[in-house]
Amino acid sequence: KELVFSGVQPTGNLHLGNYLGAIKRFVAMQEQYDCIYCVVDMHAITVPQNPTDLTRQIREVTAAFLAAGIDPKRHIVFNQSQVPQHAELAWVFNCVARLGWLNRMTQFKDKAGKDRENASVGLYAYPSLMAADILVYRATHVPVGEDQKQHLELTRDIAQKFNNDWAESIAAHGFGDAFFPLTEPMIQGPATRVMSLRDGSKKMSKSDPSDYSRINLTDDADTIAQKVRKAKTDPEPLPSEVEGLKARPEAENLVAIYAALMDTTPEEVLRQHGGSQFSGFKAALVDVAVTKLSPVADEMRRLMADPGHIDAVLADGSARARALASVTMDAVKDIVGFVRAR
């Protein structure tokens, strides 16, 4: 059975990259798939978090899911820490994944920086927990941005090694020749890697110290206009073919953002705007960004005024997620050979 899983970290400053690369695409998957969308709060504490801020940010990501149009009744919206099976399966996966595999992860290298000895063990083991998030539901499809590609490849490696290492037991327990599916990453659309507005070689990121590098989902119209106007560009007008965007990362980024907001392609955007100066194109981009993002921001603000409602959505989603996850985890315990209270 096809099932979608994905997650967003409640680490502050949800931005246009998170929206176009992930949340907007989560919304689009709802018609075709059963979907599970998770606020991955246990991932957030792999780096230091202020508890009060973390609580607010968990509610804020949930509000963003709902405001963007995810239906928590037809699908599942919950926070990771409320479903203990994620951590349980992550432990088993820590014993499946090899040190050499984790040593290759570029996100760890980027986030740990130079002071690697001081990074948390959790930050290092992050990809095992991410594999558990996905595989505890035996999810088949995972919509994410380009930056998560390497972690999804690792998830497939973990699934495959688990299936191989316990092949006999998996068959003996009636699960055939594979227990975990090899998950398909869904890295699609024009905005799989939204870049910083200040530097076309860096991805738009929550942790960039410059607020002008990103458009936050909660920015008002004036702020969006100011950030787009100040966005770095080159002096040439827009080309009329996408080939003309090569080696022009800032131009390519603004065209991709426009295309993703409008649900169209960069080709189509250039058909309309090829030859325009950036001053004109930026004004058009501000219009589109404000029109598409303001309703989401307004709805987020409305939802954030009633934390009780958000918490109730998470509690309901968590209960439903636990019911699914416990079935997988019981099977894993049987496969591994743990004695289980029945």
* 114: annotated active-site residue: no
Cβ proximity to ligand AQP, 209 vs 235, nearer residue: 209
- Out of 24, 203, 227, 282, the active site residue is 203
Cβ proximity to ligand AQP, 17 vs 181, nearer residue: 17
Least separation, in Å, of the C-beta of 191 and ligand AQP? 6
Say which DSSP state 15 is in: B
Which two three-digit tokens encode residue 253?
């980024």
* 111: annotated active-site residue: yes
Cβ-contact 203, 195 below 8 angstroms: yes
Say which DSSP state 13 is in: -
Cβ within 8 Å of residue 226, ≥6 positions away: none
Of 145, 149, 106, 132, which Cα lies nearest the Cα of 14? 145
Least separation, in Å, of the C-beta of 168 and ligand AQP? 36
Cβ-contact 299, 66 below 8 angstroms: yes
- Out of 149, 161, 206, 333, the active site residue is 206
Cβ proximity to ligand AQP, 155 vs 192, nearer residue: 192
Which amino acid is located at 61 in the chain?
Answer: V
* 203: annotated active-site residue: yes
Contacts with ligand AQP by CB under 6 A lie at 8-9, 11, 17-18, 21-22, 144-145, 147-148, 191-194, 203-207
Query: Is residue 36 helix, strand or coil?
Result: strand
Least separation, in Å, of the C-beta of 226 and ligand AQP? 20
Least separation, in Å, of the C-beta of 275 and ligand AQP? 27
Strand order in the sheet with 3-8: 76-79, 34-39, 3-8, 141-143, 184-186
Q: Based on the number of CB atoms within 10 Å of its own CB, is 73 exposed (0-12), middle (13-18) or buried (19 or more)? A: exposed
Residue nearest to ligand AQP (CB): 21
Give catalytic residues, as residue numbers: 111, 203, 206
